[in-house]
């Protein structure tokens, strides 16, 4: 007894089989044979940091602390404090980097790192401001009433200061 769906199956498979000389297969040959594309770059759909008894003496405390302040915020605060102390200590240092003591060199490196991070933050703020400007111009054109309401709300919450 033959399968009544065999002709349908054969027809369907003919489109995907390289042996076929006509049909759709030549169109599929135009598709890239290898495709490497990042999907959602810089996104993480899972846990970034795994906190457990293996890497923490108190995972529950560490998780609670992370809800209040991320590792980045914690490190940033520490680096800000080190920068203040380092600048004070380095204010009396004389000469170039090679003439500094080993302690002063470490402090200088920390100050340089802090400055690099500040520069990056400032550059990213400029980029975001430009993005916001483009978005606001679009809203102003497409939804002028909503734009005016937003401006009024911002002015109420942040009145302009007299020069």
Reported as a single tens digit per residue, the pLDDT across 19-41 is 555 555 555 666 666 666 666 66
Between 20 and 114, the more confident residue is: 114
- pLDDT value, residue 1: 63
102-142 and 71-90 helices, crossing angle to 10°: 130
Domain that holds residue 84: 56-131
Q: Give a yes or no: residue 95 inside a domain.
A: yes
Q: Give a yes or no: residue 116 inside a domain.
A: yes
* Cβ-Cβ contacts under 8 Å for 82 (sequence gap 6 or more): 107, 110, 114
Percentage of residues of the chain with pLDDT beyond 70: 74
- pLDDT value, residue 163: 53
Q: Give a yes or no: residue 97 inside a domain.
A: yes
Q: Give a yes or no: residue 89 inside a domain.
A: yes
Confidence (pTM) = 0.57
Q: Give a yes or no: residue 124 inside a domain.
A: yes
- pLDDT value, residue 120: 96
- pLDDT value, residue 28: 60
Report how far residue 124's alpha carbon sits from residue 150's, in angstroms, rounded to the nearest whole number.
24
Are 25 and 16 contacting, i.e. CB atoms less than 8 angstroms apart? yes
Q: How confident is the model at residue 4 (pLDDT cuts 50, 70, 90)?
A: confident
Report how far residue 119's alpha carbon sits from residue 136's, in angstroms, rounded to the nearest whole number.
26
Q: Give a yes or no: residue 85 inside a domain.
A: yes
Q: Give a yes or no: residue 106 inside a domain.
A: yes
Q: Count how many domains the chain has.
A: 1
Reported as a single tens digit per residue, the pLDDT across 51-99 is 778 777 888 888 888 889 988 899 999 999 999 999 999 988 888 888 9
Q: Give a yes or no: residue 87 inside a domain.
A: yes
């Amino acid at each position: 007894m033959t399968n009544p769906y065999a002709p349908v199956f054969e027809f369907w498979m003919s489109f995907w089989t390289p042996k076929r000389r006509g049909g759709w297969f030549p169109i599929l040959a135009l598709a890239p044979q290898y495709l490497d594309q990042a999907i959602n770059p810089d996104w993480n759909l899972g846990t970034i940091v795994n906190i457990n008894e293996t890497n923490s003496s108190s995972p529950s405390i560490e998780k609670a602390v992370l809800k209040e302040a991320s590792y980045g915020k914690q490190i940033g605060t520490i680096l800000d404090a080190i920068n203040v102390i380092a600048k004070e200590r380095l204010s009396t240092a004389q000469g170039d980097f090679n003439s500094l003591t080993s302690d002063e060199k470490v402090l200088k490196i920390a100050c340089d790192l802090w400055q690099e991070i500040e520069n990056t933050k400032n550059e990213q703020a400029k980029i975001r401001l430009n993005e916001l400007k483009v978005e606001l111009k679009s809203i102003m054109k497409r939804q002028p009433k909503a734009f005016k309401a937003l401006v009024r709300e911002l002015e109420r919450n942040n009145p302009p200061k007299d020069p």
